[in-house]
Structures are given as C-alpha cells and as structure tokens.
Amino acid sequence: MAKLTIHDMNVRGKRVLLRVDYNCPLDENGKVSDDSRIRATLPTLKYILDNKGKLVLMTHLGRPKGVDEKLRLDPVAERLEQLLERPVKKLTDCVGPEVEKAVTKMKEGEIFLLENLRFHPGEEGNEDAFARKLAILGEVYVNDAFGASHRAHASVVGVGRYLKAGAGLCMKKEIEGLGKLVETPEKPFVVILGGAKVSDKIPVIENLLNRAQVLLVGGAMAYTFLKAQGKEVGGSKVEYDRLDTATNLLRRAEQRKVEVLLPVDHLVADKIDPKARIRIEVGQIPEGWIGVDLGPKTVRAFEEKIATAKSVLWNGPMGIFEYAKFAMGTQAVAKALAKSQAFRVVGGGDTAAAVYKFGLADQMSHVSTGGGASLEFFEGKDLPGVAALSNR
C-alpha cells in the first residue's frame, strides 16, 4: 500500500488522535443497537494500546445542527468500554482549553473519547481553525474511519495538514479489499447490485461495466430496468426519469459483452406490510401488486452465476429484507456467497446489515464499513480521507 499505515508509525508514549466512525444506530433506550463499526476498529485500538500509545478518539454521531443531547457519545463510550474491557473516558467537548488540559495529562494506555464532532459547524465545513484545534490534541494522526472518508471534513482531511496522517488497520483493510476488485479482479467477476434506486448506482455500473463479466440486478432498482424493456411491473417502484438511462446501460453492457441478469419471477405483495398478501408472479407483474423480492427461478439463476465466480462484489439488498416475509432473495444471495470460494466483498450500509442479520458476515472475504464511501470508491473516485493520508 502506497499510503502510510499505523505499522509505519511510532506510537509509543504518544497521543494518537484516531478518527473512527462510530456513527452507530441507537435503540429507543439510547443504547447502541449495532456495534459492528466499533468492532471493526478494535484491532487498531488494541495495536495502539499494546504499543504503549495514548488513545484520543474522535467521531461523529448522526446529523445534529449544534449540540443535541440525544446525540452525545455516552452510549458509544459505554459500549466501547464493554468491548475493550477497560475504562474509556468520555469528554464533554471535542475542542477547547478543558479538552487540551485533559489530554496533556494522559498516561500510556488511557483512552479518551471526544464529544460528537458535528456539534461544531467547523467539522462539516472543514474549517482550518477547527482542524487546528483538533490537531493540537494529538502527536500522531490515524484515520480508521473509512465510512466517513468520502467527506472532506475537518477531522478527516483538515487534521492531516498539521499532523502526519496514517491509515488504521480497518482503513488499510478497506483500501486493499475494495482496491483488489477495482484494480485487478480475478475473472469471472460477478457484480450484484440491488437497493432502491438506479440513480444511486449509475456511476458504479458505468465504472464496473469495464471490469465485470456478469451483472446481477435485484431490489427495487430492477423494476426500472424491466420497465425500460417494456415490461409491466404493477405498482413496483420505478424511476421514470431514469428509463432512458437504464436502456443505455443495458445497451452498453451488451456492447461490452457483460451478461446482465434481471429478475424473471418475483415475490409480489398487495402492500408493503409484514401482514400483506403475497404470491409468486412469473414474468410481468399485474396491477395492484408490488415486487418486494426475487422469485425462486431468479434466485436459482443468481446462485448459479455466483457459483462460477472468482471475484464478487455485492451492493444492495434483493428485496425489503427488513421484513422476514420479503427476505428470502437477500438471504439466498448471502448464503450463496458464504459457500463460494471467490473473493467476496460486501458493500456497506444495508448490504452489510443484511449479512450481519443472517449471521454470515464472518464468511465473507470483506464486509465494508462504509455505504456511501464504498459506492464512491467503486465509482472510481478518489476519497478525500484516503487522499489526505501521507504517502510512505
């Protein structure tokens, strides 16, 4: 890897200012309901602690406009403390004289968590003055927040102007794992795309059509492609302003000899509700019914293509998997990937949530921690947070 990593840095006795992505969902009781992003950073945290460093952690949570009591990081500190089995001190702010005073007294092995970065407008504005205040808190800067690295924010980009910037172990794994598929995927390379909108995936499809041999399309976005082919899709979600785009993408795939598989049968429901009436429709979907998942013939076709792959990228669920009734297609794809011998990368966001939900995350080659960041990576964009890392 061309960028500096934590393995190239001396952290002994130093305050390591570590950007993490602990933007975790909270339940109705204000507790962390999904700690996968915290767990992903534990190897980096343990490496720093084992090497006698002092940990100053910074993250955002949610999208506050100013201070929001419901988005303070106390639940995150509590969960991190449980996972590390050692004390984590949560500070009441992320910059200022009191914070500076506290960190200068840190001892080796101590862990401080700064308060929510987004309580300050300087974070999202990438204000130089705010970045400088953050940089004062560390002697070494490490970015382990891949999921936030598509944002040119002060804690992601600005701090690197004042401190040597290295990648944490989670960030390193993301760059290497995702980079392998973008740069040198072993063939056949199968791309599986789902989710709600074609518009969210257009740049990804355009970029990967130059690399993939097979494209499997599911989720609500499949109905825009099917409608573009002149097929009836009932009340299924369609982006009518993207029909021409879908047609052009299918034409480009044909020109590049990329095999595209769209659903040939569907699980349909009379409404989006766990108590809805459901049935299987082959071919077109009649009025009054909504496509909510892949049908069994499509699942078998997708499984067969996955079984032939040497490299796989999956981004986007195949149906409304949050409801057990509509989760069969997404679960079947996850199981097919778990059985595969290919190099398998799961994009972040809902796709990562699905493989964790089905208990199959540890059977994938790599599960990304970043939804938006992984999409932009596969679009071929340079992520600001990665670009800001120091070169070796």
Q: The domain spanning residue 253 has which CATH number?
A: 3.40.50.1260
Tell me if residue 15 is catalytic: no
Chain position carrying tokens 């059509």: 209
Residue 133 maps to a domain: yes
| pLDDT value at residue 184 | 87
Whole-angstrom distance between the N-terminal and C-terminal Cα of the chain?
8
pLDDT at 150: 94
- Last residue of one domain, picked from the residues 121, 147, 173: 173
What predicted TM-score, i.e. pTM, was given to this entire model? 0.90
Residue 42, domain member (yes or no): yes
Q: At what angle do helices 169-183 and 36-50 cross, to 10 degrees?
A: 120
Tens-of-pLDDT digits for all 392 residues of the chain? 689 999 999 999 999 999 999 999 999 999 999 898 999 999 999 999 999 999 999 999 999 999 999 999 999 999 999 999 999 999 999 999 999 999 999 999 999 999 999 999 999 999 999 999 999 999 999 999 999 999 999 999 999 999 999 999 999 999 998 988 888 899 999 999 998 888 888 989 999 999 999 999 999 999 999 999 999 999 999 999 999 999 999 999 999 999 999 999 999 999 999 899 999 999 999 999 999 999 999 999 999 999 999 999 999 999 999 999 999 999 999 999 999 999 999 987 889 989 999 999 999 999 998 888 888 898 888 899 999 999 98
Residues 6+ apart with CB under 8 A from 69: none
**Residue 392 and residue 390: Cα distance in Å, rounded?**
6
| Parent domain of 233 | 185-378
Cβ-proximal residues to 141 (8 Å cutoff; 6+ apart), any chain: 16, 17, 18, 19, 135, 159, 160, 162, 163, 164, 165, 166
Are 266 and 203 members of one domain?
yes
Catalytic residue of the set 349, 370, 371, 385: 349
371 is catalytic: no
Question: Among 161, 197, 252, 297, which one carries the catalytic annotation?
Answer: 197
In a domain, 389, yes or no: no
189 and 165 housed in the same domain: no
Q: State whether 105 and 44 are in the same domain.
A: yes
Among the options 31, 132, 335, 372, which is catalytic? Answer: 372
What pLDDT is stored for residue 223 in this prediction? 96
Name the catalytic one among 37, 72, 90, 201.
37
Domain boundary among 173, 195, 229: 173
Residue 349's pLDDT is 83
Q: Has 316 been annotated as catalytic?
A: no
- Whether residue 160 is found in the same domain as residue 58: yes
Domain count, the chain: 2
Looking at the fold, whether 280 and 240 belong to one and the same domain comes out as yes
Question: Bridge-partner residues for 391, per DSSP?
Answer: 3
197 is catalytic: yes
- Whole-Å CA distances, 281 to 261, 296, 380: 17, 10, 37
pLDDT of residue 171: 96
Same-domain pairing of 195 and 161: no
* Spatial CA neighbour of 136 closest among 170, 100, 169: 100
Let me know whether 24 and 78 are in one domain. yes
d(CA 148, CA 376): 11
Q: What is the pLDDT of residue 198?
A: 87
